[in-house]
Amino acid sequence: MKKRILLLVLLSYISLSIVGNSTGDMYRVWLSDKKGSEYTIQQPEKFLSQRCLDKRARYNIDVDASDLPLSADYIEQLKSKGCSIVVTSRWMNTAVVSTTDSMVIVSISKLPFVTKVERVKSASARSVAIVTPMPADGLYSSNAAPCATAAHSAFYGDSWQQIQMLNLDSLHLEGYYGEGVMIAVLDAGFPKIDVHPYINNSRIKGAYNFPQGRFSYSGGNNHGSSVLSCMASYIPGRYIGAAPEADYWLIVTEDYTCEVAVEEDYWAAGVEMADSIGVDIINSSLGYNTYDNPENDYTHDDLDGKTAFCSRVATLAAQKGLLVVSAAGNEYSTDWQKINVPSDAVGIMTVGSVNSDSTHSIFSSCGYTVDGRVKPEVMAMGKGTRVIDHNGEIQYINGTSFSTPLISGAMACLWQTHPEWTAQELIDRVVKSASQYNRPDELYGYGIPNFYSVYRNSASVGHINASRQQLYVSGRMLYLPSLDEPATLAVYDTAGRMVMKTTVNPQDNTLNMQHLDRGIYIVYMQSRSERVACKVSIE
């Protein structure tokens, strides 16, 4: 029943958001109000999911007029002029229309409820490329993790450097992999993600493609698939994503064939859909500063969080309780140099890139915003980031596009420990843990965050997985939690060697470890429905 209700909510939203696409020019039409809307804020369940409403209530965030879908009456009047409705924004009260007849736009601009019209795509927009994989740099090493480093390294495989840099592996060891947190990935496409060998498809809760106007993640550019793999992949000994137990919505907002301003409208619609679903975190590895049509270009003076269309939407998303994590951009070695929009938005987390030795990546865009706010807020490994393609092959890729999902996934794991924290509280705590919190600058922002220290320093650390508490050693016997199904158990020593691997069954409650030497070991146990990780000491 819950799935059916959510689908009805989404269909009511989509019915006003995507009516049709066209090969004509596209124009953003600003509306004066929402008179004639068939919805009211007194019945928000008609257009927002219960998960969204529960989240708003938990954080004392009201449903207001900005949340209402656009006036159906106004939409019909726009269509009657001979245009197609491409996409709408509830929060900005705009509709993008498409037409091949310029006189249609003249007629629309004269409607009494239309306040402004601006072109956001020309039918002759050129094609552009999005991302080019590049070779990785050298290895990163750190003694920051408080547990058996070599054992962890063997468990994480190729993802070890980028996870350990954030001290996220230690949070994983406590049993936090993002369970219960929902992440929307706004990107350019997710082709073949349904056959990805290392991503659990049951964690993908839905998908929508705004440029195509349909429920789908097929087609498009594979950039989104690479981004998702940084968070959702899980294969012990080969690659562990930042948040493999989080749930995901895959939302395509990028028209990868060109660089046009309507992509900001798609992005806005994607954010608003994520909000209506009840998503907790938005991962956006997208950014804009110049377009095929120079009349839509931004300048550095526009980086105030209040000018760019998508930045205004990102700021509103933060006000409505979403955690928006946005890539800073790869512009530092270009004439632009600065962060892109929407990374200048207020209340969001902007992520830059460092190399594996924690130094600034030459491409990673710098701050500040024009009004003096620190950007980017935090950094993660974006040079030589390990991602996994749909064939299960490791690729090394450069870009803030890939440092960003590492932070998004880590935020999901941390939020799992304290779901009562607001998004802003979460950002504040993570920023305060960063390596140069007391001396931020335009390249590193506040630096590289330490997610485990946030967890350890929080007021309450009482959210440890109950099953983990039941896995312990007494004498030479390993006592196991109650199981409902068979599980695989593996034990690693401090040198990273697997010293024991076996299958344990529901009737098993102990395991003899008499043959192991005295020392510290890491125990990993996994069934289809549960994952337990624990450090144990054998005397």
Domain-located, residue 126 = no
What CATH number is associated with residue 514? Answer: 2.60.40.3080
207: in domain: yes
| Statement to judge: residues 396 and 505 lie in one domain | no
Q: Which of 33-37, 78-82, 317-321, 512-516 has the lowest mean pLDDT?
A: 512-516
347/280 same-domain check: yes
Helix (H, G, I), strand (E, B) or coil at 457: helix
pLDDT tens track for 117-145: 999 999 776 544 333 333 332 222 233 33
> pTM of the prediction?
0.84
Percentage of the chain modeled with pLDDT above 70: 87
Residues 324 and 448 in one domain: yes
Residue 96 forms part of a structural domain:
yes
Residue 492 pLDDT exceeds 80: no
Mean pLDDT along residues 334-340 = 97
Among 303, 214, 210, residue whose Cα is nearest residue 256 = 210
pLDDT tens-digit profile of 207-241? 999 999 999 877 678 999 999 999 999 988 899 99
For residue 148, tell me if it sits in a domain: no
**Residues 208 and 288 grouped into a single domain:** yes
Q: Per-residue pLDDT averaged across 398-410, rounded?
A: 98
Note whether residue 152 is domain-resident: no
Same domain? 449 vs 475? no
Looking at the fold, whether 291 and 229 belong to one and the same domain comes out as yes
Looking at the 3D structure of the chain, how many domains does it have? 3
Q: By the 8 A CB rule, do 178 and 230 touch?
A: no
Residue that is last in its domain, among 121, 155, 170: 121
Residues 9, 53 within the same domain: yes
Give the domain-ending residue among 106, 121, 136.
121
One domain for residues 72 and 110: yes
pLDDT tens digits, residue range 265-310? Answer: 999 999 999 999 999 999 999 999 999 999 999 999 999 999 999 9
User: Which CATH number do you get for residue 442?
Assistant: 3.40.50.200
Supply the pLDDT for residue 141.
29
What secondary structure, in 3-state letters, does 57-87 show? HHCCCCCCHHHCCCCHHHHHHHHCCCCEEEE
Residue-range definition of the domain harbouring residue 95? 2-121
Q: Does some domain include residue 495? A: yes
Query: What digits encode the pLDDT tens for the residues 235-264?
Result: 888 999 999 999 999 999 998 888 999 999
User: Do 323 and 445 lie in a common domain?
Assistant: yes
In a domain, 451, yes or no: yes
Query: pLDDT tens for residues 448-480?
Result: 999 999 998 885 433 334 344 457 777 788 888
Q: Is residue 67 part of a domain?
A: yes
Whether residue 438 is predicted with pLDDT greater than 90 in this model: the reply is yes
User: Both 37 and 82 in a single domain?
Assistant: yes
- Of the candidates 188, 232, 19, 24, the one whose C-alpha atom is nearest the C-alpha of residue 120 is 24
Q: Is the dihedral of CA 17, 22, 23, 25 positive or negative?
A: negative
Q: What is the mean pLDDT of the chain?
A: 87
**Is the four-CA dihedral 64, 66, 67, 73 of positive or negative sign?**
positive
At 22 the pLDDT is: 55
Boundary residue ending a domain (428, 457, 486): 457
The reply to whether 113 and 208 lie within a common domain is: no
- Residue type present at position 62: D
Tell me what pLDDT residue 271 has: 98
Same domain, 403 and 270: yes
